[in-house]
Amino acid sequence: MRIVTLSQSSLFIIAVLSHHHNHIPRQATSPSSLPPTTPSSGISAPPPSPATLPPSGSGSLPPGSTPPTRPAPTLSVSLESTNPTARPLSDIIVNASSAPTRALPTTPVPGSKPTGVNGVPGLPDANLLRPADYPPLDRPPPVDSPEVEEWYQQVMNSGISIPDIPPTNPGGCPNNTAAATNASICWWTCSGCTAPTDVSDCPDKMTWGLTYDDGPSLYTPDLLNYLDEQKLKTTFFVVGSRVISFPHILQAEYLADHQIAVHTWSHYPLTTLSTREIIAELGWSKKVIYDTIGVTPNMMRPPFGDIDNRVRAICTAMGLTPVMWTRLSPQVTFNTDDFDIHSGLVTVEEVLGNWKDILSNVSTLDHGFIVLEHDLFQQTVEVATGYILPDALAHKPPFTIEPVISCLRKPLAYAYIESNNNDTNPPPAAGGRPTLSSGAPGSAEATGGSSHSWLPSDSKMNSLLGGSIAALFLAAL
Ligand SMILES: [Zn+2]
C-alpha cells in the first residue's frame, strides 16, 4: 500500500507535469475530482468541494467536520471475483507502461444497424467524416458559426424558459460563495441539488445503471471486448472531441447495443459557460454523434457533474435529459475516482476501496444506483475489466447491470431522438419549465412556441469570452 504524504496541491502539479509528458488530450487532463482553477490561484488546486470528495473514508465523518483532503489509504479489499487475465494491481499506477490494446470485437460496416434498436437508419460511413467540418478539439466551440446560431434559435423557439442565472466563476464552489449556497439555482456541484429532470438513480433495487465517460479512447475496445464476453451492456457518455478522433469505436459501441449519450464537445464545466457556449458544446456533440452513428442521443451527463437550473433548461430545450451519478450525501457519492489513477491522485487500491464503500451503501438502498467510471485511460479500463466488473458480476444477491435507459425500464430505442416514442416521452410543453421526468424529450424543433425573455444580457454573454476561458483552460491543465 502506498502512503502518500504530499499535499493535494503538490500532487496536482505532478499530475499536470505528467500529463504534459504523456501528451494526453487536453480535456483528459482536468482531474474530474477537482474544480477548475483560476489564473490568480496559479496551478495549485483549490480545496475540494464536498461534492467532489471521493466517498472512501469520508462517509463516517460527523456532520460539519472537515473531511481530510487526502484520506489515508486504509484499504483491505476483498473482491468476490477478479478477472484471471487482469493486469496486476501493482501495474495499474500513474505512468503505467502501455499494455497492448485489443481490436474491436466487430468491425463496423456502413449501412449496418444495431439489433436492439428498431426504426433507425443504417450506419454512416465513418471514413467520410472530415474533422475540418467540426470545431477544434478540446476547447469550447466558437459561437459565431451558422450551426450554433441555428441551435441557438431552436432553443429560443423551444418554449423552454432559460433561467436568468449568470455563468459561475472558474474555480468551483470556493470562488462562487453566493451561488454555492443559492438553493434556487440548484447547483449540483456545490450543494448536490438535483432537479426532477435529473436521473441520479435507477428505480429498481439491486440494479446498476452502468456508465462510462470521456471516451471513446484507445482503451475502449478492451472494455467493449470484456462487456461482450460477459454479455453486459452499458451507457457511454462520449466527448465529441473523442468521437471525431475515434469514430469507428463509437460505431462499434452503438452496433453492440450499448447506449450512446452526450458528454459535451470539450468537457468544460458547463455552468462556467455562456448560454451560447453551452448550446455549442451540446449541439456539436449531438451533431458529431449523429454524423457518426445516424441517431441523436437524448441523454447527457454534464462534465464534472457541473449543472444548475440554467444548464438544465438548455438541456431540456435541446432534447437532452441529464444523467448524474448516485449521491447519498455530500460525503457519499458513487464515484470510484478511477479517473485519478492516471494522474497519481489516487491509487488503484483506493479506487477499489471506493468501490467497496459503494457496495456497502448499495445494500441499504431501496432503489438502484449509478456509478461514475471512465473508459478514457488504460488504468480506468483495467480496473473496470479486471476487478470492478468481475466483483459486481459475482455479487450476491446478483445485480442487474444494464444501461441507464434500460434501468429506467425503457427500450434502448428510447435513447435516441430518431427512434424514441414521443407518446411516452413527450417533447417539452411550449412555454413550460423543464418538467420532464427521466424520459426522453423529442427534438426541440417539434415544440414550436417562442420565448425570448430569457435572452442573456451582453455582460453575461461576454463574461467568459475574454481572457477567462483561456485562463481557465490553461489552469485546468
Ligand atoms: Zn467526464
Interval 135-161: pLDDT, tens = 999 999 999 999 999 999 999 999 999
**Peptide bond connecting 216 to the previous residue in cis, omega within 30 degrees of 0:** yes
Q: Between 146-156 and 309-317, two packed helices, what is the crossing angle to 10 degrees?
A: 100
CATH of domain 126-476: 3.20.20.370
CA–CA separation, 469 and 136 (whole Å): 15
Does residue 374 carry a pLDDT above 90? yes
Does residue 467 carry a pLDDT above 80? no
CA distances to 55, 287, 311, 395 from 360, rounded to whole Å, are: 11, 40, 33, 12
What amino acid occupies position 341?
I
213 is a catalytic site residue: yes
Q: How far is the CA of 221 from the centre of ligand 1 (A)?
A: 18
Whole-number percent of the chain with pLDDT over 90 = 69
Residues 380-404 have a mean pLDDT of 98
Q: 176: which residues sit within 8 A by CB, 6+ positions away?
A: 168, 169, 187, 190
Integer Rg of the chain from CA: 21
Residue-wise pLDDT tens digits, 91-143: 999 999 998 899 998 899 999 999 999 989 999 999 999 999 999 999 999 99
198 is a catalytic site residue: no
Which of the residues 138, 198, 213, 338 is marked catalytic? 213
Q: How far is the CA of 447 from the centre of ligand 1 (A)?
A: 30
Determine whether 25 is exposed, middle or buried from the number of CB atoms within 10 Å of its CB (0-12, 13-18, 19+). middle
Residue 289 is inside which H or E element, if any?
helix 275-293
Q: Where do the structural domains in the chain lie, given as residue ranges?
A: 126-476
The reported pLDDT for the residue numbered 136 is: 98
What amino acid occupies position 382?
E
Residue-wise pLDDT tens digits, 72-82: 444 568 999 99
Does residue 375 carry a pLDDT above 90? yes
The reported pLDDT for the residue numbered 77 is: 81
Q: What is the 3-state secondary structure (H, E, C) of 215-240?
A: CCCCCHHHHHHHHHHCCCCCEEEECH
Question: Which one has a higher pLDDT value, 250 or 4?
Answer: 250
Which of the residues 308, 357, 374, 375 is marked catalytic? 374
Q: How confident is the model at residue 330 (pLDDT cuts 50, 70, 90)?
A: confident
Q: How far is the CA of 239 from the centre of ligand 1 (A)?
A: 8
Say whether pTM exceeds 0.85: no
